[in-house]
Amino acid sequence: MAKKIWLGILLVSIAGLLWAWLAGPQWLEEWNRESQQEQLAFQQKGAALGSSTDQQGCFEAALASFDQCQDSEYKCTVNNGILLKACWQKSLPSEGFCENVPAFAEDPSEDDKAWMKDSCFEAGINGSGCRLLMRQKQQLCSS
């Protein structure tokens, strides 16, 4: 009896691995296609927003969108980063937008990290994705 149970478990495991091996590429292709469509929508939304607002408006919209996002933190960060970049490309400059923003460096210093964390805390937004959006602000202000 125990042999039949173990044999059944082995057969189910082999069938599951076979299915994963055969269906994996199709699943990944579909996920990539959906992600690209979603990112294009965020890019278009950002460009449309940028045509009617300034840098600060873009930044506030991206932070609000990130904060309300129900997807994974990774997906929320990527999509809102795309929105922010597209928005800034079309937006007007904001007076004082870059005041007190530390200069961008490839390897952020402890002061840079503290600035990002504190800025997110002041905005009431949790998550490391917020810090990456702050990093984009740093990069924009240093260019």
* Predicted confidence (pLDDT) per residue in 86-105, tens digit: 999 999 999 999 999 999 99
What's the pLDDT score for residue 83? 97
Mean pLDDT of the chain: 90
Cα three-residue angle 54-55-59, rounded to 5 degrees:
120
* Cα 112 from Cα 104, distance rounded (Å): 8
With a cut of 80, say whether residue 77 has pLDDT above it. yes
